[in-house]
């Protein structure tokens, strides 16, 4: 019997048809994102061969970070393709200061999209895995008017779809539209993403912690104690001094510095990712709208949890497009244990960024 090839476009269209009021617009919007992913995949694979891919543009973005050529390329491409799709009344990107609108005919678009066009870009020149992240909301302003800031400043709970593309040993696209998490691997010989990871669930065991430990001295006490517990440094019997829960052995540490890659490995193997706030930067580095919310939606749909240390990421009411937030996500029981450490040791010091 021939192998069953379920392309991502077919999968999205089948999912879309479950809603009686569906018009096919969401399916078309997702197809544009899939197309963009394929083009970025093509460009990423030229890194090292073509001068336009590696190195810096010389500009600094709204985040105060130096822009790499591939950051710029990926941002321009997403913006260009989505701007004229007709389904999106406005877009926002980690790379752009303000929201971006298209020609007036797209004012009828039902959706807004938020993007981290290239995540982990410091890894590009070293041929290490990088990614793209997207998040889609239904607009709250009336169709026909230009998209507005209030269309974006919705809690992650309102997301209708989110996901990421990981340009790794192969290119994988993972998405959720609120009915589980599905992963597709790009087969370059046919130019299509094929279903390879159906209904991904986080494994029960959490064996990995992912954090940049060079910042340990700047962490709050709760985060520091939690990471010590991951390493079984709190007690010889590997029990948590907080709740007595025992690990079989220390967890493994894995940190690439591309959140999408760290996240994807933990999603498949079981793990917790941490980007805490510090005493100097209580909100940490990662961005609520472009990084935390979409990943939180995926991890919850896979049976895990995402928190800022105090509450679920998806319940945080955004106040501005580029706001940063401490981020802890992975197996639910581990995220809850970390929240307990924070409650016990940090909240009295009011050091977490909430």
Contacts to ligand AHG by CB under 6 A: 65, 94, 116, 119-121, 212, 257-259, 285
Instruction: Please tell me the distance from the alpha carbon of residue 48 to that of residue 52, in angstroms, as a whole number.
Output: 9
- Residue 257 binds which of Mn ion, ligand AHG, none (CB < 5-8 A, kind-dependent): ligand AHG
Question: Of these, 15, 32, 75, 116, which contacts Mn ion (CB under 5 A)?
Answer: 116
Binding span for Mn ion by CB under 5 A among 77-85, 118-126, 270-278, 322-330: 118-126
End-to-end CA separation in angstroms for the chain: 55
Q: What is the DSSP string of 256-318?
A: -S-HHHHHHHHHHH-EEEEE---SS-TT-SSBIIIIIHHHHHHHHHTT-EEESSSSBGGG---
Helix (H) or strand (E) holding 53: none
Nearer to Mn ion, 87 or 324 (CB): 324
Residue 61 partner contact from ligand AHG, Mn ion, none using kind-dependent CB cut-offs of 5 to 8 Å: none
Choose between 15 and 262: whose C-beta lies nearer to ligand AHG: 262
Q: Please enumerate in sequence order all residues whose Cβ is within 8 A of that of 50, keeping only pairs 6 or more positions apart, or say none.
A: none
Q: What backbone torsions phi and psi does residue 124 show, to the nearest 5 degrees?
A: -55, -50
- Residues numbered 38 to 97 that lie near Mn ion (CB under 5 A) are 94
CA-to-CA distance for 240 and 326, rounded, in angstroms?
22
Output 26 or 78, the one with its CB closest to ligand AHG. Answer: 78
Q: Which does 270 bind (CB under 5 to 8 A by kind): ligand AHG, Mn ion, none?
A: none
Token look-up 């430990």 returns 213
Q: Which does 265 bind (CB under 5 to 8 A by kind): Mn ion, ligand AHG, none?
A: none
119 lies in the binding site for Mn ion (CB under 5 A) = yes
Burial (CB count within 10 angstroms: exposed 0-12, middle 13-18, buried 19+), residue 274: buried
Q: Based on CB atoms, which residue is closest to ligand AHG, 12 or 296?
A: 296
**Interhelix angle 69-83/25-44, nearest 10 degrees:** 160
Answer whether 271's CB lies under 8 Å from 255's CB: no
- Taking the least distance from each CB to Mn ion, the nearer of 86 and 120 is 120
Minimal distance, residue 7 CB to ligand AHG, in Å: 28
Told to check if 262 binds Mn ion by CB under 5 A, we report no
CB of 138 to ligand AHG, least distance (A): 25
CB-wise, 240 or 266, nearer to ligand AHG?
Answer: 266
Report the run of H or E that residue 81 belongs to, with start and end.
helix 69-83
CB of 185 to ligand AHG, least distance (A): 21
Instruction: From 278, 281, 306, select the one nearest 291 (Cα to Cα).
Output: 306
339 binds Mn ion (CB under 5 A): no
Which one of the spans 12-20, 113-121, 158-166, 271-279 is the region binding Mn ion (CB under 5 A)?
113-121
| Residue 23 or 212 having the CB closest to ligand AHG | 212
**Smallest gap from residue 95 Cβ to Mn ion (A):** 7
* Torsion sign across C-alpha atoms 90, 321, 179, 138: negative
Token output for 260: 């999408």
Of residues 8 and 286, the one with the C-beta less far from ligand AHG? 286
Q: Which residues bind Mn ion (CB under 5 A)?
A: 94, 116, 118-119
């Amino acid at each position: 019997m021939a192998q069953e090839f379920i392309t991502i476009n077919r999968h999205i269209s089948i999912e879309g048809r479950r809603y009686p009021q569906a018009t096919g617009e969401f399916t078309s919007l997702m197809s544009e994102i899939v197309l963009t992913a394929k083009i970025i995949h093509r460009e990423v694979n030229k890194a090292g061969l073509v001068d336009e891919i590696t190195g810096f543009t010389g500009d600094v973005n709204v985040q105060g970070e130096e822009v790499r050529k591939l950051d710029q390329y990926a941002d321009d491409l997403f913006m260009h393709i989505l701007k004229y799709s007709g389904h999106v009344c406005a877009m926002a990107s980690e790379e752009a200061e303000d929201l971006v609108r298209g020609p007036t005919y797209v004012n009828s678009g039902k959706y807004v999209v938020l993007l981290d066009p290239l995540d982990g870009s410091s890894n590009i020149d070293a041929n290490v895995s990088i990614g793209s992240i997207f998040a889609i909301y239904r607009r709250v302003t009336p169709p026909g008017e230009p998209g507005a800031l209030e269309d974006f400043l919705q809690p992650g709970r309102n997301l209708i779809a989110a996901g990421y593309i990981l340009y790794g040993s192969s290119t994988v696209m993972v998405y959720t539209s609120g009915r589980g998490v599905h992963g597709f691997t790009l087969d370059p010989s046919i130019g299509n993403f094929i279903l390879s990871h159906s209904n991904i669930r986080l494994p029960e065991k959490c064996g990995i912690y992912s954090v940049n430990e060079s910042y340990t001295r700047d962490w709050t006490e709760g985060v520091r104690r939690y990471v010590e517990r991951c390493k079984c440094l709190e007690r010889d019997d590997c029990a948590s001094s907080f709740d007595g829960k025992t690990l079989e052995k220390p967890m493994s540490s894995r940190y690439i510095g591309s959140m999408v890659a760290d996240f994807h490995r933990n999603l498949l193997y079981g793990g917790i990712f941490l980007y805490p706030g510090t005493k100097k930067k209580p909100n940490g580095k990662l961005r609520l709208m472009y990084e935390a919310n979409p990943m939180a939606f995926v991890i919850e749909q896979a049976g895990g949890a995402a928190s800022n240390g105090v509450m679920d990421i998806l319940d945080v009411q955004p106040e501005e497009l580029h706001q940063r937030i401490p981020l802890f996500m992975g197996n639910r029981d581990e995220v809850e244990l970390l929240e307990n450490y924070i409650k016990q040791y940090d909240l009295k010091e009011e050091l977490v960024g909430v």
